[in-house]
Amino acid sequence: MMVFNFKKIKMNKLLIILMMTVLSLTALAEDKHFDRNQLPQLNQEILDSSDYAYEKVTIPTKDIIPVQTQRVRGFRVQEKAWLLNDEYGPLIVDQDNYLIDGHHRLDGIKQLQIKNVRVLRVNASIEEITEAFSEYQDNTPTYEPVTSGPDQTDLIPITQ
């Protein structure tokens, strides 16, 4: 006569189901990446003239998910000054906090260790926004930073 340990079998099944769920979610949660020229350059005025709802909120910097690595030379110098004077325009994010417009500003915000940032959160996915606002794409020449961090050659010195 064969004896089964049902508690052990149930635990093994539960463990297998849990592992499969974690692996499935990890596979589905893949990073999004766009070239800079695929992303629209948006601002509040453009959003106001569209059919898309958005909200002005302040969110933790760590919650913003960048989707591009390409940069435009010289933009960071200008953006850094705006950040130091707290004069930057809000970043544009989608409903899941994927960054649509403001990657240069986010570089500076992170470097200055600003904990919270003003954003306009559009009530749509980044894919939907990219398609709907394709007329606002920008083909300015870009470069790909050599290191995993932003290029340091175009920074202005920070004095406080």
The 3-state secondary structure of 33-73 reads: CCCHHHCECCCHHHHHCCCCCEEEEEEEHHHCECCCCCECC
What pLDDT was estimated at residue 48?
95
Amino acid in the structure at residue 5: N
Higher per-residue confidence, 88 vs 5: 88
Task: pLDDT band for 156, please (50, 70, 90 cuts).
Answer: very low
pLDDT for 99 beyond 70: yes
Higher per-residue confidence, 102 vs 120: 120
Residue 137 three-state SS: strand
Domains and CATH numbers, the chain: 36-136 (3.90.1530.10)
Task: pLDDT band for 154, please (50, 70, 90 cuts).
Answer: very low
For the stretch 14-73, pLDDT in tens is 666 666 655 554 444 458 876 666 788 889 999 999 999 999 999 999 999 988 865 556
For the stretch 59-98, pLDDT in tens is 999 999 988 865 556 555 455 777 777 788 899 999 999 9
Higher per-residue confidence, 99 vs 73: 99
User: Dihedral of the CA atoms 94, 96, 102, 103 (nearest 10)?
Assistant: -140
Higher per-residue confidence, 153 vs 131: 131
Residue 19 is inside which H or E element, if any?
A: helix 6-28
Cα Rg, the chain, nearest whole Å: 21
Structure tokens at 39: 């992303």
For the whole model, what pTM was predicted? 0.65
Residue 144 three-state SS: coil
Task: pLDDT band for 139, please (50, 70, 90 cuts).
Answer: low
Beta bridge partners of 63: none
